[in-house]
Structure 1
């Protein structure tokens, strides 16, 4: 895990694996009102398909680190777009998306794009609904943009839509899937030893909002946590899981929550 530094930016440090809890931060993980094109893709949160995904099915190996990671508090608010693109994954008309990384960070836009591509192409992802499809592009028409940015920039963009991310969490605002650099690099205490798995949860949760999915709760003690559950608030008896669907193509969901 790289140490991020930006000259002239204020920064905070956090040691992966720390035990302090993030209180009520996920109250800010929310989407703006769904646009018409998002609403048409919205499934029922009360699906009767039985969730049975395994939390150990992440394609990425754990990446623990004992070194502190420095996160800039804010950045310039301008972005570098990952070049190139991907083939279509999933059925139906693909949603074209771009991957941007805020300028001044040591993150590689190409590396972030590769991870996002892999997450959205996973058979346990949103393409398992049989309707959603994705294709990464570097320009032209885009349906949504995944933006990895400093906490301050995320606050600015999410705050413009009335969402209070408090320098801590991610959001979906219109076409923008905003990824807080702090969460991308540090995850949360539950996922501190598998940060890459948590990145899958970030993308699946916020893209899920873009597709029209709302928040759901834990379906029962010992069961996999839905990707649309605000896991940063607490697991509530569920076990960690980052994928919307299980390996048998069943939606991992729970009771709808506000």
Structure 2
């Protein structure tokens, strides 16, 4: 009996020791789990705020993702449900078409086939033989005959133009006799007029037929990929080249790499190392020549 009592008392003491240890351990586990859950909830909240700040720059607000392509032309969309800072900024930027007018990329192929004379005239420029000329513009196109005539008159009166030779001059007239006529026409009409003289313009280039200089509206409005100057410069090249034929000049080639292309060079066919140029003479009155071309 005494032995059994001793064993019972010893078992009770061990059970008490285990209980005294298990209680604090369970409490510690509960505290650790609670802290972990609290940290996870806090971290999730901070991550949401961080992504909002990344999208909009303002904590607590979000910007809907941009669908499709981005406004800056990048074809790679942002990851689903998120928007990068660059995408948010670009998405609100207005497109170029909304603020600027694009230059023309085409012209009408044909007009009415009839021409209107510009009601414009001016004083003679140059010396020697003064050639009177008229300017006509085909109907059915958005081009003022008067404006075109004034622009051509300025070109032919420029000191770097043909008047620099000392024996050729020009005068714009709107009535009476004229030595030649400058017609600005659509590509189809140019082909018809030039083709009647056996010249194939293929809807692209200008020609000089009899007493008529035929200017292709396509070249007048769009210029040439070989000419890297402003459109006004290319118009000067057109007029000076065709009027050059009128006063007896023939085609010339490139005089050498890096040199100005002669105005009588067919620059639309390539510069061959020369630099695009629209004037027969330089500012010192020297003729910008090249080797003859058959």
State the TM bucket, normalised to the shorter chain: 0.7 to 0.9
- Please, which runs of 5 or more residues in structure 1 have no aligned partner? 1-64
What CA deviation, in whole Å up to 9, does each residue of 1:91-150 have, x standing for no partner?
A: 013100000000111101111001100000000000011000100101111001011000
Pick one of 129, 146, 149 that aligns with 2:182.
Answer: 146
1:76 Cα offset (Å): 1.8
- 3-state secondary structure, aligned to 1:189: coil
RMSD: 1.4
1:75 Cα offset (Å): 1.6
1:217 Cα offset (Å): 0.2
Matched, 1:90 2:90: no
- 3-state secondary structure, aligned to 1:69: coil
Structure-to-structure mapping, 1:32-51, within 5 angstroms: none
What CA deviation, in whole Å up to 9, does each residue of 1:3-23 have, x standing for no partner?
A: xxxxxxxxxxxxxxxxxxxxx
Measured in 1, the distance between the counterparts of 2:125 and 2:245 equals: 19
Matched, 1:256 2:292: yes
Measured in 1, the distance between the counterparts of 2:103 and 2:243 equals: 31
- 3-state secondary structure, aligned to 2:284: coil
Measured in 1, the distance between the counterparts of 2:104 and 2:152 equals: 24
Structure-to-structure mapping, 1:73-222, within 5 angstroms: 73-191=109-227, 194-222=230-258
- Please, which runs of 5 or more residues in structure 2 have no aligned partner? 1-100
Q: Is the 8 A contact 1:151 1:182 kept in 2?
A: yes
What CA deviation, in whole Å up to 9, does each residue of 1:46-100 have, x standing for no partner?
A: xxxxxxxxxxxxxxxxxxx743333111122111111130100000131000000
1:158 Cα offset (Å): 0.6
Measured in 2, the distance between the counterparts of 1:70 and 1:229 equals: 25
Matched, 1:239 2:239: no
- 3-state secondary structure, aligned to 2:132: strand
CA distance 1:136–1:241, shift in 2 (3 Å): same
- Identify the range of structure 1 (139-148 vs 190-199) with the bigger mean alpha-carbon deviation: 190-199
Q: Is the 8 A contact 2:162 2:244 kept in 1?
A: yes
Measured in 2, the distance between the counterparts of 1:77 and 1:89 equals: 31
Runs of 4+ in 1 over 6 A off after TM superposition: none
Measured in 1, the distance between the counterparts of 2:127 and 2:267 equals: 29
Pick one of 63, 66, 70 that aligns with 2:106.
Answer: 70
Say which structure, 1 or 2, has more relative contact order (CA 8 Å, 6+ apart): 1
Measured in 2, the distance between the counterparts of 1:235 and 1:70 equals: 24
Q: Is the 8 A contact 1:186 1:192 kept in 2?
A: no
- 3-state secondary structure, aligned to 2:151: helix
TM-score with structure 1 setting the length: 0.73
The structure in which a higher percent of residues are helix is: 2
For the pair shown, which has the larger CA radius of gyration, 1 or 2? Answer: 2
